[in-house]
């Protein structure tokens, strides 16, 4: 079975052996190009990656400078419809909220965004089914492939869950929550090039005017199945009037919507990425979380863009809870 999906083009190589020092597949030991006895069901996916040497001792516990919104690795080259695989470490603030299991393989419930070593941002509706008891949940950071342990992956217990006081389960308004991770002081998740917080926007900032290059990320519905590797998709932020026209009566000032309205452009967020980040690049090349994936009608449906909790409307509340 092709682990990352089957290709459709010609098969060029078979029995490829690489040492890891090659610059391309063409440098690997192989048979004559074009000679093979393969089928596309045997296709292999290849991702070239780089891992710096670990410093000796326990230096990875040392706090990093108080920076946010950096993607130091991205220049190396339940729900994303029309998305594609990201690079490992390309979205270092991506986290996932998981239901704890006695087997240690808790089920992914929602996406989340790392705001600091000890706080993540997610959606309030993620706690509707299993309640607000922190012992029921864990947060995973540094993850890329959900079934493969990663060098920088860490699963951390939850100390506190703070759902916005105005949220009601029968409404999509105020759909925002904060999760405090377990750890001594302000050192919970180990920060690294693969694990870094996203920036917060300014209070009442209008991302349609100040932000660009917006992306959604997650492990959710890809149109055929739930992805095992982190997906990414670029989405345009839509004018407020467009969102209000499509979601009459349900779209409030504490929401924003994003997505492509053309029928053939299936880029949207779906249930698997509830609570996950919508991030945009700001002047100066830092990235801020402008949206928390909240709701929408279907997946990649024409004229039904995804709806996100507008983070800039909640900055004072976030800072009062987290003391960031």
Task: Report the C-alpha gap between 291 and 288 in whole angstroms.
Answer: 9
In this structure, what token pair is assigned to residue 233? 């998709």
Tell me if residue 265 is catalytic: no
* Structure token pair of residue 218: 């997650």
Catalytic residue among 175, 221, 268, 273: 175
Residue of 85, 96, 116, 125 marked catalytic: 125
With CA atoms as reference, report the closest residue to 2 among 48, 47, 46, 40: 40
**CB contact at 8 A, 222 and 80:** yes
Our answer to whether residue 274 is catalytic in this structure is yes
Residue of 96, 172, 192, 274 marked active site: 274
Contacting residues for 40 by C-beta, under 8 A, at least 6 apart: 2, 6, 7, 8, 11
Q: Which of 78, 83, 134, 143 is nearest to 108 (CA)?
A: 78
Q: What are the C-alpha distances in Å from 138 to residues 83, 93, 241, 288, 295?
A: 26, 16, 38, 24, 23
Nearest residue to 139 (alpha-carbon basis) of 155, 124, 119? 155
DSSP H/E element including 315: helix 315-322
Q: Which residues contact 264 (CB under 8 A, 6 or more apart)?
A: none
d(CA 239, CA 234) in angstroms, rounded, equals 16
Catalytic, 175? Answer yes
Q: Which residues are catalytic?
A: 125, 175, 274
């Amino acid at each position: 079975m092709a682990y990352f999906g089957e290709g459709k083009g010609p098969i060029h190589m078979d029995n490829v052996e690489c040492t890891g020092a090659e610059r391309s597949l063409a440098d690997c030991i192989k048979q004559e190009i074009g000679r093979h006895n393969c089928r596309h069901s045997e296709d292999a996916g290849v991702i070239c990656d780089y891992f710096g040497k670990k410093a000796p001792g326990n230096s990875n516990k040392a706090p990093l400078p108080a920076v946010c919104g950096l993607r130091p690795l991205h220049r190396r080259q339940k729900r994303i419809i029309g998305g594609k695989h990201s690079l490992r470490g390309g979205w270092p603030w991506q986290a996932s909220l998981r239901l704890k299991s006695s087997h240690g393989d808790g089920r992914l419930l929602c996406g989340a965004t790392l705001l600091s070593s000890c706080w993540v941002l997610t959606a309030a509706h993620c706690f509707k089914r299993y309640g607000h008891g922190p012992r029921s949940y864990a947060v995973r950071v540094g993850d890329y492939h959900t079934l493969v342990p990663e060098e920088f992956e860490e699963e951390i217990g939850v100390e506190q869950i703070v759902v916005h006081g105005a949220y009601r389960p029968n409404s999509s308004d105020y759909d925002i929550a904060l999760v405090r991770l377990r750890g001594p002081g302000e050192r919970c998740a180990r920060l690294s090039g693969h694990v870094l917080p996203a920036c917060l926007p300014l209070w009442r900032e209008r991302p349609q005017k100040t932000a660009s290059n917006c992306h959604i990320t997650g492990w959710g519905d890809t149109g055929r199945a739930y992805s095992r590797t982190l997906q990414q998709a670029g989405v345009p932020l839509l004018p407020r009037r467009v969102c209000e026209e499509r979601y009459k009566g349900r779209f409030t000032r504490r929401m924003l919507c994003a997505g492509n309205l053309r029928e053939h452009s299936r880029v949207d967020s779906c249930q698997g990425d509830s609570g996950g980040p919508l991030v945009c690049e700001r002047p100066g090349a830092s990235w801020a979380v402008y949206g928390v994936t909240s709701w929408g009608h279907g997946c990649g449906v024409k004229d039904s863009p995804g709806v996100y909790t507008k983070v800039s409307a909640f900055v004072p509340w976030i800072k009062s809870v987290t003391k960031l």
